[in-house]
Amino acid sequence: MVQTVLTIAGSDSGAGAGVQADARTIEALGGFAVMAITAITAQNLHGVRDWQPVAPRLLAAQLDAVFEDFKVGAVKTGLLPGAAVIRAVRDRLVKRHVSGAASAPGGRAPPLVVDPVIGSTTGTRFLSAGAIKMLRTELFPLAALVTPNWPEAALLSGLPVTSVAEAECAGHRLLELGCAAVLVKGGHGPGKQVCDVLVTATGGRWLYASERVATQNLHGTGCTLSAAVATHLAQGKDLPDAVGAARRYLVRVLRRNRNLRWGGRGPVGGTRLPFIDAD
């Protein structure tokens, strides 16, 4: 049975990140993507030129429309630009019983994966200090998984993150906010390997390592990974297996597109991808 996965994120006019990358990933992995757009961005391979948040009322209407007609197997969030948007998302997810339980498909509460997008890699800041506080206190407690990279984990936890050990400490600090698990992504780390660390509120700890792919086509890696995890959770994998399968998918896509030449920082999913079985 095809599982429906809801992405709540911004729209990228360059189609490399945001709901475009999420939908491409979800459907490449055999899911059906539905979406609620939180912001409109004007961006290309060189960066964000302009952006505007969607009115919270319209965002809430999008979420209601999706939940009323679709049986959602998992939810993931990306860019949530501002306290009013975060509150609208939180209220609708609570209403629809979205929770931190990474349960199998068919359960009453679809699991939530939160990709805490604070700014773009090229320097555009989307969230104020107040919005970051609300993200931590209002949305993280609902999450089955939060997926910060090293800079995001440092900002959200208040701890330095310059090594895998420090990433794990930051992950444990974020667990104190009430989320069920934290995956601190290591793409910003040094060396020939990328090491991600997963920690859970029940004391679990997993380290995932893979060879770094030499490519400039990295736009949308965080969106792609979190969307892949959400899709695998919707399909019934447990959390450690869902993360492992999502990482394998991302590595395969990066390798497939590493020789593409764009005018700037290219998107991860730069070619039309057939269905990919990440396992």
Q: Which uninterrupted H or E stretch holds 229? A: helix 221-234
User: Is residue 269 one of the residues assigned to a domain?
Assistant: no
Write out the residue range of the structural domain in which residue 155 sits: 4-257
Q: Does residue 271 lie within any of the structural domains? A: no
Q: Give me the number of domains the chain comprises.
A: 1
272 is a domain residue: no
CB-based contacts of 130, cutoff 8 Å, min separation 6: 83
In a domain, 137, yes or no: yes
DSSP helix/strand/coil, 207: strand
Residue 48 lies in a domain: yes
Q: What is the CATH number of the domain that holds 221?
A: 3.40.1190.20
Instruction: Give me the long-range contacts of 89-92 (CB less than 8 A, separation at least 24).
Output: 89/8, 89/38, 89/59, 89/63, 89/139, 90/138, 90/139, 90/142, 91/60, 92/60, 92/63, 92/64, 92/67
40 vs 236: CA distance, rounded Å: 32
Q: Is residue 61 included in any domain, yes or no?
A: yes
The Cα–Cα gap between 106 and 263 comes to 44
Asked if the structure places residue 119 within a domain, the reply is yes
Instruction: Please answer whether residues 145 and 179 qualify as being in contact, where contact means their C-beta atoms are separated by less than 8 angstroms.
Output: yes
The partner residues of 43 in beta bridges, in order of sequence, read 48
Output the pTM of the full model. 0.92
Per-position pLDDT tens, the chain of length 279: 899 999 999 999 988 899 999 999 999 999 999 999 999 999 888 888 998 999 999 999 999 999 999 999 999 999 999 999 999 999 999 998 776 655 434 445 899 999 999 877 766 778 888 889 999 999 999 999 999 999 999 999 999 999 999 999 999 999 999 999 999 999 999 989 999 999 999 999 999 999 999 888 888 999 999 999 999 999 999 999 999 999 999 999 999 887 777 767 778 865 545 555 545
Q: Is residue 188 part of a domain?
A: yes
32: closest CA among 61, 59, 64, 7? 7
What number of residues does the chain have?
279
